[in-house]
Structure 1
Amino acid sequence: MCGRFTLSAPVLKVREHFGLEELADFPPRYNIAPTQPILIVMEDEHVTGGPRRGRLARWGLIPAWAKDPADIPLLFNARAETAGERNAFRAALRYRRCLVPATGFYEWQKQGGKARSQPHFLRPRDGSLIAFAGLMETFLAPDGSEIDTATILTTQASADLRPIHERMPVVVPQMAFDFWLNCRDNEPADVTRLMGAAPEGLFEAIPVGEAVNSVANMGPTVQDRITPPDDGGSDAPGGQASLPF
C-alpha cells in the first residue's frame, strides 16, 4: 500500500515536469497523510492533448454514489488489479484518471516478531519527480458543496522492494502521461500495461526514524537516514507491514 508520501520539489520543477501552464506556489511537504489535500494533475476534459490542470483533492476517494462518507472506509489506495471491478473505483478508472506528483513515499517493514515496524523512505535514485497513477471523484455533499477526492493505485512491488513491503504505488512514466490521462480514447483495458510494478532499481530505500509515524512531524528531518537496530534495513527479509496510524 501507499499510506504516506512526499512532494518536496520546487513548484517550477513540478510545473515543467507535468506540463502545467499554471500552478500556485506551495511549500515542500515531507509527510503527506490520508485525508490531507494533495496535488493531482488532470487533462483538460474538453481538449484532447490540451493543457494539463493541477488541482487539490482530498486524499481518500469518496465515490459519487456515497450518501455519507463516514459509512465507507478511507479509500486512499485502490488495488490496480481489481479497481475496474469495484463500484467505488470503476467509473473513476474509466473517466477520471489523474496523476499524483511525488518525490518519494514511505513504507513500513515488519521486523520478525517485533511489535514495531521499521519505516523506510523510498525515493528515486536519480532525484527525479515521479507520478503515481491516481483516480479522482467529485463528491457532492448534502449541503450542496463539492469535494474533489482522489486515491492512489497500487500494484505488486518490484522484486527489490518486496523485502520491505509486498505492494507499491503504480508509477506512470513521463512519456505515458498523455496516454494515461486521455480517458476519452483510452479505456481501462488500454492502460492496464501501465499498472505494473516500477522497474527494479528505480527507488533507493532509506531507513528512517519513527518520527515519520506521527502526522504532526512534517519537517525534512523525518527523512534522515538511521542505522536500524539489529540490521533491520531494507535488505532484511520481511513481509507486509501494517501502517502505524
Structure 2
Amino acid sequence: MCYDIAFHTTIESIFQYLPALKRGGQPPAGFNATYHKIGMSFPQWPVVVNNNGLQLDYYTWGPVPKMLNTPEKVKKQRQMFLNARSEKVLENGTMWNAIRHQRCLIPATGFFEYRQIPGWKNKVAYYIRPKEQELFFIAGLWALSNSWDVDKPDRIPTFTLLTRSANPVMAQIHNGGDNAGRMPLMMPNDLAQEWLHTDITDTDIRNLLQYEQPSHALDYWPVNSVRKVKPDDATVIAPVQYEGLPALTV
C-alpha cells in the first residue's frame, strides 16, 4: 500500500491547478514542503475538500474509526486505515462506504514504493511521479476522528488515501508483501474536480474509481530507502544505480 508520499513544492502551486480553490484553515505550525513523509507518523497534510466551493485545508493522515476505542487500540491498529481500497467505497457495510460522500483530494509531487528482486536481501525503493505536471492529486476520503490526545480533546479532521489495482509498470514495482499490486488512485485535474462535486451519484463514483493512470504517463527511478533517517531534501529522491537491477518491462 502507499504509506510514503512527497510534497516538495509550494502550497501556492495547488492554486495553479485549481483556480477556483479558496483557503480554509491556516497551515499547521512548522508545515513545510517535504521530500518524504511516512503515513505511520500521522502527519498533517494539505487536502482539498468541497465546503460550499473548493477549499484548501490541513487534515491529519490516518482516520481513527470507532472500533479503535482505546489509546492502546489506536496505537496498534490505526496504520491499517492510512489507505483504503477503492473497491470498498461502494461495498455496503464498510466504513469507506459510510463516508463515501466525504471525498477529498490529496496533493502530492510523488510517492514511493518498494520492489522485491528475486535473490536480493533488501527491496529497492522507487520514486514515482507523473511526467507532465509538478503536482498531482490522489483521491481520498475524510472523517472526523477521536484524537485520543489530551492536548486535542475534540474530534479532528482526518483523511485516508485511496488505492487501486496497479497499472503494468506499478505492478512490477510494488510486487511484494500482503498488498502487492496496488497504487494510489491518481486522478487527472478534470476527474479530480469531478471527484469533489457534491451531487455525484454512486454510479458517477464507480466510474471515477475505474480510472487508471497509464504506465507511460509516469516517471520512476530507484532511490535509497526512505525508511531510514536522513535530511529532508532533494537527496531523498536522487536516482541511485543498483548493480544488476533487472530492468522494468515498459
Same fold per superposition (TM over 0.5): yes
Q: Any stretches of 5+ residues in structure 2 without a counterpart?
A: 175-180
Say whether 1:156 aligns with 2:165: yes
The unaligned stretches of length 5 or more in structure 1 are: 238-245
Alignment RMSD (CA, Å): 2.3
Cα gap change, 1:66/1:9 in structure 2, threshold over 3 Å: closer, same or farther? same
Matched, 1:57 2:51: no
Residues in 2 aligned to 1:162 and 1:3: alpha-carbon distance in whole angstroms:
16
1:240 corresponds to: none
Contact 1:171 1:195 in 2 (8 A): no
Residue by residue over 1:129-178, the C-alpha shift from the partner in whole angstroms, topping out at 9 and shown as x without a partner, is 11000010101356741211111100011112221112110012211233
Q: Which residue is equivalent to 1:221?
A: 235
1:40 aligned onto 2:41: no
Q: In structure 2, do the counterparts of structure 1 residues 141 and 200 end up closer, same or farther at CA, with 3 Å as the change threshold? A: closer
1:7 and 2:7 aligned: yes
5 Å-filtered alignment, 1:1-245, equals 1-18=1-18, 19-22=20-23, 26-34=31-39, 35-44=42-51, 47=52, 50=53, 52-64=54-66, 66-68=68-70, 70-71=72-73, 72-74=77-79, 75-85=81-91, 87-93=94-100, 95-141=101-147, 144-165=153-174, 166-183=181-198, 185-196=199-210, 197-210=212-225, 212-214=226-228, 217-232=231-246, 235=248
| Kept in 1: contact 2:142–2:158 (CA 8 A) | yes
SS of equivalent to 1:58 = strand
**Deviation of the 1:88 alpha carbon:** 2.5
Which 10-residue stretch deviates more, 213-222 or 164-173? 213-222
Alignment partners' CA distance in 1, 2:202 and 2:84: 14
Q: Secondary structure at the match of 1:61?
A: coil
Mapped to 2, the partners of 1:215 and 1:193 lie a distance apart of: 40
Task: Tell me which amino acid in the other structure corresponds to 1:91.
Answer: A
CA–CA separation in structure 2 for the residues paired with 1:87 and 1:195: 16
CA 1:206/1:92 → structure 2, altered by over 3 Å: closer, same or farther? same
